[in-house]
Amino acid sequence: MIVGGGLLLAAAVTSARAADASSSSSTAALRSSPSPRRLPVSVKPWTGDFDGMLERRVIRVLVPYSRTLYYSDKGRERGVTAELVREWERWINQKYARRLGKRPVTVYLIPTTRDRLLPGLVEGLGDVAAGNITVTESRARLVDFFSPPDLKRVSEIVVAGAGAPAITAVDDLSGKRVHARPTTSYHESLVALNERFRQQGRAPVTIVPLPDALEDEDTLEMVNAGLLDLVVVDDWLARIWSRALPSVRLISEAAVRTGGETGWALRKNSPALRGALADFYASVVQKQGLVGYLQVQALRRVKALRNSTADEDLKRFDEMLAIFRTYGARYHFDPLMLAAQGYQESRLEQSARSPVGAIGVMQIMPATGAALKVGDIRLTEANIHAGAKYMDQLMTRYFTDAKLSDTDRTLFAFASYNAGPAAIARMRRLAAQRGLDPDAWFNNVELVTAEKLGVEPTVYVRNIYKYYVAYRLIAESVELQRTLKEQMRTGR
């Protein structure tokens, strides 16, 4: 799979008791989780083994940011990997207490974009890459892996939505469209499957790329909402999330990879670190059930994503698209992004009214609408105009120093729309102080925002982004159909 998931806890996740049981020790451990550790802004490369880490009193764990793995909610670290790493830290300081004296080891969790996990490890910017990393030949050439011999092997299975074509075996994928992120082992597995189909004279799978900013949880939510039909996900993670996503179908018989080996990534030639991890796994992970409580907490935070491409919703989208294009062009926002925001705010319902008095598609307050001087915001066009103009003003007034890509300009506008521009401007400054990119939302300012303001603004932005991906895929499909029809008409 991608570099994501519970890693060493995968064995426990897939056990029967992991779903429902949580020991008192697990609950107590989670409740006592300390506030996030932060490394100094300047992180110097270092490439030693475990003994050197003990001497330095520092271990750096690179981890992807996701609602399954690791995230920070108003300063509290949550997620399967976050809790596991805290257990590892406690174990190290107990086992090596005499050697460490009064200077304990601190294990830092460093959220890192997925494509930088293994390169960052090799470059010495981290000591371990934690996540449910599938061992592949290309990855094994770059790093070593600690994978316990009793760890249950992983299958990459097809997950289908309610409207997906019938799939009962992996060969049924021939000629079908499957969505996958290019950096994942899912994509690699689908490419290998296509090679087999080619040799057998079968139609290949059409692999539709998804943005790498999306995580497995995001794609599963999109399948549940009917935004995507077919995706591939690790079986254990799909089982966790299927409990909260009733419209997904897990097709275990259609696995594009079976017997996948997963583990934590280490730099080459790190025998002492490998030994320490093996000791921790044997003495702690196999004996403590930390996962059940974590699963319950994660699933409580899942909110269902709606289907923005359902017939009635898509009809409203088509009717309003020209308006979104007009004001997207005027204020330099992607019109599909604006449409996705409108769906998040109101399901594109101009008749929508909020309990606090916000009006219409973009949920504009009457006082704001009057100040913007765009006309009667009770009318659809003026309402959409007001939303686009308001976000443009936020960006102009509060982000004059920012060097944002077109996509990030829109994402920051969404965050400001939800949490307030002054707060998001402050998050940019904090991100810069920590050595993160203040001009990048995903995996940068997003991390600080979740920690300081809570997950609501980050979920708001990610939901809009998911709707945007769905709209974009539809637009690309329509354009492809138009091109094919034109080619048939002209005989080219």
Per-residue pLDDT of 296-317, as tens digits, reads 555 565 555 566 556 676 677 7
Q: Supply the mean pLDDT for the chain.
A: 84
The pLDDT of 128-134, averaged and rounded, is 87
Name the amino acid, one letter, at 435. G
pLDDT higher than threshold 70 for residue 392: yes
Question: Can you spell out the DSSP letters for 32-71?
Answer: TPPPPP---SS-------HHHHHHHTEEEEEE--BTTTBE
Strand partners, 145: 265
* Whole-number pLDDT of residue 21: 36
Instruction: Provide φ and ψ at 254, rounded to 5°.
Output: -105, 80
Residue 490 confidence (pLDDT): 63
pLDDT for 29 beyond 70: no
Cite the DSSP H helix spans in 290-346. 291-300, 311-331, 335-346
Task: State the CB neighbour count (10 A cutoff) for residue 139.
Answer: 18
Round to whole Å and give the CA distance between 417 and 387.
Answer: 9
CATH topology for the 7-152+262-300 domain: D-Maltodextrin-Binding Protein; domain 2 (3.40.190)
- β-sheet bridge partners, residue 180: 209
User: What average pLDDT does the segment 219-238 reach?
Assistant: 92
Same fold, 7-152+262-300 and 154-260: yes
C-alpha distances in angstroms, 221 versus 183, 217, 226, 228, 301? 20, 6, 9, 9, 13
Is the pLDDT confidence value at 185 over 60? yes
Helix (H, G, I), strand (E, B) or coil at 243: coil
Which distant-in-sequence residues (6+ apart) come within 8 Å of 355 by Cβ?
A: none
Report the largest interatomic distance among the alpha carbons of the chain, rounded to a whole angstrom. 81
Cβ neighbours for 245, distance < 8 A, ≥ 6 positions apart: 220, 221, 223, 224, 302, 304
Query: 224-228, 246-250, 291-295, 410-414: which range is least confident on average?
Result: 291-295
Residue 183, pLDDT score: 86
pLDDT at residue 377 in the model: 97
Distance CA(226)–CA(474), nearest Å, equals 13
Phi, psi of 368 (to 5 degrees): -65, -45
| Domain parsing of the chain, residue ranges | 7-152+262-300, 154-260, 311-481
* Topology annotation, domain 311-481: Lysozyme (1.10.530)
Identify the H or E element spanning 230. Answer: strand 230-234
Strand partners, 353: 359
Closest to 181 (Cα-Cα) out of 205, 157, 209:
209
168, 209, 225, 242, 429 from 219: Cα distances, Å = 21, 12, 10, 12, 31
pLDDT confidence bin for 38, thresholds 50/70/90: low
What confidence category does residue 259 fall into, taking pLDDT thresholds of 50, 70 and 90? very high
CB 111 within 8 A of CB 443: yes
CATH fold for the domain made of 154-260? D-Maltodextrin-Binding Protein; domain 2 (3.40.190)
Q: Could you tell me the pTM of the whole model?
A: 0.69
Q: In the structure encoding, which two tokens stand for residue 273, read together?
A: 């670190």
How many CB atoms within 10 Å of residue 389? 19
